[in-house]
Amino acid sequence: MADRAGQLDDADQLAGLRGRFLLPEGIVYLDGNSLGALPAAVPPAVADAVQRQWGTDLIRSWNDNAWWQAPLRVGDAIGRLIGAAPGQTVAGDSTSVQLFNALTAAARMRPGRPLLLTDPAHFPTDQYVADSVARMTGLEVHRIPVADLPRFLAARGDQVAVAGYSPVDYRTGELYDMAATTDAVRRSGALMLWDLCHAAGALPVRLDELEADLAVGCGYKYLSGGPGAPAYLYVARRHHAAFDHPLTGWNGHAEPFAASAGYMPAEGIGRARIGTPPMLSMLALEAALTAFDGVDLEQVRAKSLSLTGFLLDCADRELDGLGFTAATPREPARRGSQVALRHPDAYALVQALAARGVIGDMRAPNLLRFGLNALYTTHRDVLTAVRQLRAVVLGEEHRKGRFQRRGEVT
Ligand SMILES: *Cc1c(COP(=O)(O)O)cnc(C)c1O
């Protein structure tokens, strides 16, 4: 396997991109699906934002350093990675907040349709927000697995206002067919809302081409924008005029500095701005996105599949008989950019593995997750991770008490 890892890395056309990240020595980092690694462009950009832009230019920075335009400028930079032409994506707030905005606006755009569909396996925040929006708007939430959507839509599609789904299952890493799902939802007259947290930056997403209606996502997973980086909201241009934002903050006003008494939304995606953005995080995210400059997402996808496939192969060989089963589908077309393995001792194994310098994460009750960001992960990293995991299990290192105690964040 070592030979194969070496050959695959030597042939890797994206190998040079690893130099765009600052990775700590001696660590194999496979948790970029929770918090992307630090792009080398970020520290100088943040230092400049703090010292020169804030420290010296002060309030003038809103004009002189183009702070005011940043949410739309950064939105367009994200748009390039998710197949959105300029002027349809805004950066800001958190995924949870953007979900609330998108679902509420969607309900307002489809009056008379009483149902909100979401995935029973969706990330918790997506389900919690869907329930709350439903209570506020009078919609009824139905939790329909992706595989059952066509049948449900055929029967009751004309009652559906919006369907909110993720192309990638955050636990198993299974990738769904975005095109077929979007098509089925839109043919029923409902709006398709995608949560791209585990897709953006990891694989090509073609929102415009698919004619998706709405999308949200975070800035800190595969986009590597830093802890708590601004999220984003995409609204297809054809919906801008009808997009009635629930959070009518002054930044989204047509004339934000006119201090008019009533709210009048800006033209275009600018109406999806809310309040003053966190500029330090916004500028960190903008710098982070330069790691994608000149990068072909088709190549990212090809490498990502090579990495996830190699991890599954390594697991087959090195972990055989040690109590693991793969939760991630074997078929390349059904894999996102992570591999999840089931094991009853998942939590302690992930802790003991981290003590050996291999960082992944765990999702209850029994999943070990390994996120493989193709911009900075190598096949050698993958092999090291699997071999270290084997050593942990064989040495029963995870049985030590300190690896059993849970921190606040798992
Ligand atoms: C990571 C993730 C979130 C995170 O929401 P925040 O508001 O950014 O904490 C939401 N939804 C999905 C599908 C995710 O993967």
Q: What is the DSSP string of 49-98?
A: IIIIIIIITGGGHHHHT-TTTHHHHHHHHHHTTTT--TTSEEE-S-HHHH
Distances (CA, A) of 5 to 184, 298, 368, 375, 383: 41, 21, 22, 16, 7
Whether the pLDDT of residue 197 is over 90: the answer is yes
Whether the pLDDT of residue 219 is over 90: the answer is yes
User: Is 110's C-beta closer than 6 angstroms to any atom of ligand 1?
Assistant: no
pLDDT of residue 410: 79
pLDDT of residue 97: 98
Whether the pLDDT of residue 259 is over 90: the answer is no
- β strands within 37-175, DSSP E: 38-39, 89-91, 115-118, 140-143, 160-165
Asked if residues 328 and 338 have their Cβ atoms less than 8 Å apart, the reply is yes
pLDDT of residue 409: 85
* Alpha-carbon span 327 to 315, nearest angstrom: 12
Give all domains of the chain, ordered by start, each with its CATH number.
2-40+294-404 (3.90.1150.10), 68-276 (3.40.640.10)
Whether the pLDDT of residue 168 is over 90: the answer is yes
pLDDT of residue 121: 96
pLDDT of residue 161: 98
Asked if residues 175 and 167 have their Cβ atoms less than 8 Å apart, the reply is yes
Q: CA dihedral defined by 41, 42, 43, 49, rounded to 10 degrees?
A: 110
What average pLDDT does this structure show over 32-38?
97
pLDDT of residue 14: 98
Asked if residues 292 and 74 have their Cβ atoms less than 8 Å apart, the reply is no
User: Is 345's C-beta closer than 6 angstroms to any atom of ligand 1?
Assistant: no
**Inter-helix orientation angle 297-318/2-10, to 10°:** 170
pLDDT of residue 407: 83
How would you classify the pairing of strands 89-91 and 232-235? Answer: antiparallel
pLDDT of residue 401: 85
User: Is 376's C-beta closer than 6 angstroms to any atom of ligand 1?
Assistant: no
* Alpha-carbon span 177 to 206, nearest angstrom: 12
pLDDT of residue 20: 98
pLDDT of residue 24: 97
pLDDT of residue 46: 98
> Among the residues of 80-165, which ranges form H helices?
95-109, 124-137, 149-156
How many of the other CB atoms lie within 10 Å of CB of 308? 25
Q: What are the pLDDT digits (tens) for 224-249?
A: 999 999 999 999 999 999 999 999 99
What average pLDDT does this structure show over 253-260?
94
Q: Which residue is closest in CA terms to ligand 1's atom 4?
A: 95
State in Å: Cα 310 to ligand 1 middle. Answer: 27
State in Å: Cα 231 to ligand 1 middle. Answer: 9
Q: What are the pLDDT digits (tens) for 176-195?
A: 999 999 999 999 999 999 99
The secondary structure of residue 190, as a DSSP letter, is: P
What average pLDDT does this structure show over 17-36?
97
User: Is 193's C-beta closer than 6 angstroms to any atom of ligand 1?
Assistant: no
Atom of ligand 1 lying closest to residue 122 CA: 13
The confidence band for 405, taking pLDDT boundaries of 50, 70 and 90, is confident
* Alpha-carbon span 176 to 189, nearest angstrom: 21
**DSSP letters for 349-383:** HHHHHHHTTEE-EEETTTEEEEE--TTT--HHHHH
The confidence band for 1, taking pLDDT boundaries of 50, 70 and 90, is confident
Distances (CA, A) of 232 to 93, 117, 136, 300, 321: 7, 21, 23, 21, 43
* Alpha-carbon span 56 to 64, nearest angstrom: 12
State in Å: Cα 201 to ligand 1 middle. Answer: 15
Q: Is the peptide bond before 365 cis (omega within 30 degrees of 0)?
A: yes
User: Is 137's C-beta closer than 6 angstroms to any atom of ligand 1?
Assistant: no
Q: What are the pLDDT digits (tens) for 334-393?
A: 999 999 999 999 999 999 999 999 999 999 999 999 999 999 999 999 999 999 999 999
Whether the pLDDT of residue 40 is over 90: the answer is yes
Which residues are tagged catalytic?
123, 195, 220-221, 369
Q: What are the pLDDT digits (tens) for 104-132?
A: 999 999 999 999 999 999 999 999 999 99
